[in-house]
Structure 1
Amino acid sequence: MTAMRYLRLALVVLATLMQPSMLGAHEASLGVLEFREVRPGAFIGRWTMEPSIGAGRIDLRVPPHCFLRLPEMNCGQKGLVGSITITNLGANMSAVLIKVIPIAGEPRSYTISTANPVVSVLGTGAPTLEAWIELAKTYVNYGIDHILLGADHLLFVLGLIWIVGGGWRLVKTITAFTIGHSASLAAAAFGLIGVPERPLNACIALSIAFVGVEIVKQQRGTMGITARYPWAVAFTFGLVHGIGFASALAGLGLERSLLPAALLFFNIGVEIGQLAFVLLVLALIWAHRRLDAVVPRWGEALPAYAIGSVSMFWFFGRLVRVFAAI
């Protein structure tokens, strides 16, 4: 591969990551649609948190026996039981929470996401095994979807892999990062800690820039703090990233009884997505070594400077949003 092809590839990657939509980081575009039962089988629906694309453009499909014309929905004697889907979920709307509030019984919440666009409403009464399976499927998929769309988090993990390499050091580093973001995710989700989202996203961008600097130090023969104590750095910044993950759940309005299970399944989904990314990167490194690919000397520093450039672009963009909100 010639030097010019390396340069073109780097420019394409930078242009992709430096999209304005990435400045929002974990500010997911969420909607909350509430259906309150006013008489048996009859509901009044309203958006308590309207997604950014506008509720009028959302293609909501309810069970066939239900007649829907917001704000009214009538499901007759059978009640609201069956599948609900939104067919036009995409990059501009990551998830919609459907809250069903019956006349009698506990409210139920169902999350429709790009990874899980169809949910089954199971009626009222005590949660069944089918309800728990539905909850698990919804939030595991939502966690996978959230992490794989979170380029800032994945870029930080890539930087850790670049510094640590493979083997048990990488296992311990990723484990420390997982423990850190799992702990802060739980604490933030239960309201034990709280950090404004936009300043937090700016700090997440700075954490990636820090790793980029550490890569440059290592390439110049200097042992940075990440190379010496990777688990400590991973755990510390994991705490910051975990609070960012919590913002994905903050606007959903889950009832507290469902929050522990939803949090567990969401975190499992995040870990599945993170593990898939780590394995993909390790596979690419293995393939590069097997092919004996030769990289120009100047190209060895390109990934570190690319990581640093992208993260500082995000940082300044997010900093502008912080001051704009004041």
Structure 2
Amino acid sequence: MRYWRVTLLVLAALILPRQLDAHEATLGVLEFREVRPGAFVGRWTMEPSIGAARVDLRVPPHCFLRLPEMNCGEKGLVGPITITNLGADMSAVLIKVIPIGGEPRSYTISSANPVVSLLGTSDPTLQTWVELARTYVNYGIDHILLGADHLLFVLGLIWIVGGGWRLVKTITAFTVGHSASLAAAAFGLIGVPERPLNACIALSIVFVGVEIVKQQRGEAGLTARYPWAVAFTFGLVHGIGFASALAGLGLERRLLPAALLFFNVGVEIGQLAFVLLVLALIWAHRRLDAVLPRWGDALPAYAIGSVSMFWFFGRLLRVLAAT
């Protein structure tokens, strides 16, 4: 007997508490652009589902701030900046400083570390790297755990492949695939429009749902026969979707490799935590040794397929509306 109650429980947890969309950005971007010596214009260039008025922003003592204008005088924009009250909707803030005659500088603030010291140089310090690691690992974890479509695809893989080393190899292939395409997209080597890509991601989940139905009918589907190849192929698609989370940040190119690495580490931590959670629920279900009706076996596959088709048609409509 397959673990249909476990699947339905995880499915409900993924789709009910939030809107039926995925990969929402949780990183705000606050840009300070110097318009004349010591004078800046500040604006939020990325602000996910949170009002700027709810964020407590404090600038260095010698700076006078009244958004969108800020005047720091002869000292310039150096010293501590504090952002508090980030809340659950914004896990971190990327601060971009664009001086008139110098290189742009980037700093990161998180709810755990709400203070950053702005320097008058673009050379990264040890503090910069530590803050970058802390921020982007957390950002990657948030991004994957809020990405219902990605987790639903992983859930389908677990259902088809089962446990043991076969599952380890399948998840590893999926990781290699989305890590490679994430890096390629982040460095601009490949580019796919975000809306059509999201529709394709939804179709990948539909494919997994169909494969589950085939398996239940006693047929050996493509995923059952070649799980690593299927996981790697669709991992490439999902990885480009992950890259969209970094594309709009405008990170300095010198910081991009480290940010990409830390973000990917966070994604893998979140994905591993999800896989372990599902396996723990399956183990608990086995221990209960419950007798379930046979008609219940088909519910997870059709639930996964129905939700993903709903996503696909919604995203397809967005693509058509944009043309």
TM-score bracket, normalised by the shorter chain, equals: 0.7 to 0.9
Looking at structure 2, the residues matched to 233 and 13 of structure 1 have their Cα atoms a distance apart, in angstroms, of: 22
What pairs up with 1:140-159 in 2 under 5 angstroms? 140-159=137-156
Aligned residues between the structures: 315
Looking at structure 1, the residues matched to 68 and 195 of structure 2 have their Cα atoms a distance apart, in angstroms, of: 33
Looking at structure 2, the residues matched to 199 and 70 of structure 1 have their Cα atoms a distance apart, in angstroms, of: 36
Which residue among 125, 134, 137 is the counterpart of 1:137? 134
- Give, in angstroms, the shift of residue 274 of structure 1: 0.4
Tell whether 2:180 aligns with 1:170.
Answer: no
Provide Cα deviations, 1:253-288, integer angstroms capped at 9, x if missing partner.
Answer: 011111111111100110010011011111111111
Looking at structure 1, the residues matched to 288 and 66 of structure 2 have their Cα atoms a distance apart, in angstroms, of: 60
Looking at structure 1, the residues matched to 77 and 168 of structure 2 have their Cα atoms a distance apart, in angstroms, of: 50
Classify 1:54/1:138 alpha carbon distance in 2 versus 1 (closer, same or farther; 3 Å): closer
Partner in structure 1 of residue 20 of structure 2? 22
Percent of aligned pairs sharing the same letter: 75
- The alignment partner of 1:22 has SS state of coil
Classify 1:151/1:12 alpha carbon distance in 2 versus 1 (closer, same or farther; 3 Å): closer
Greater mean alpha carbon deviation, residues 197-206 or residues 50-59: 50-59
Which residue among 250, 253, 256 is the counterpart of 1:256? 253
Report if the CA contact (8 A) 2:24-2:48 is conserved: no
- The alignment partner of 1:21 has SS state of coil
What pairs up with 1:111-126 in 2 under 5 angstroms? 111-112=108-109, 118-125=114-121, 126=123
Greater mean alpha carbon deviation, residues 193-202 or residues 68-77: 68-77
Tell whether 2:43 aligns with 1:51.
Answer: no
Provide Cα deviations, 1:12-38, integer angstroms capped at 9, x if missing partner.
Answer: 956972788333x33537653211346
- Give, in angstroms, the shift of residue 318 of structure 1: 0.6
Report if the CA contact (8 A) 1:14-1:310 is conserved: no
CA RMSD of aligned residues (A): 2.8
Amino acid at match of 2:206: A
Looking at structure 1, the residues matched to 77 and 27 of structure 2 have their Cα atoms a distance apart, in angstroms, of: 26
Looking at structure 2, the residues matched to 251 and 225 of structure 1 have their Cα atoms a distance apart, in angstroms, of: 36
Partner in structure 1 of residue 307 of structure 2? 310
Classify 1:16/1:280 alpha carbon distance in 2 versus 1 (closer, same or farther; 3 Å): closer
Looking at structure 2, the residues matched to 12 and 279 of structure 1 have their Cα atoms a distance apart, in angstroms, of: 12
Tell whether 2:225 aligns with 1:228.
Answer: yes
Tell whether 2:55 aligns with 1:68.
Answer: no
Partner in structure 2 of residue 3 of structure 1? none
Classify 1:14/1:132 alpha carbon distance in 2 versus 1 (closer, same or farther; 3 Å): closer
Partner in structure 2 of residue 188 of structure 1? 185
Looking at structure 2, the residues matched to 11 and 161 of structure 1 have their Cα atoms a distance apart, in angstroms, of: 14
- The alignment partner of 2:300 has SS state of helix
Greater mean alpha carbon deviation, residues 274-283 or residues 55-64: 55-64
Looking at structure 2, the residues matched to 35 and 222 of structure 1 have their Cα atoms a distance apart, in angstroms, of: 59
Which runs of 5 or more residues in structure 2 are unaligned? none
Report if the CA contact (8 A) 2:140-2:264 is conserved: yes
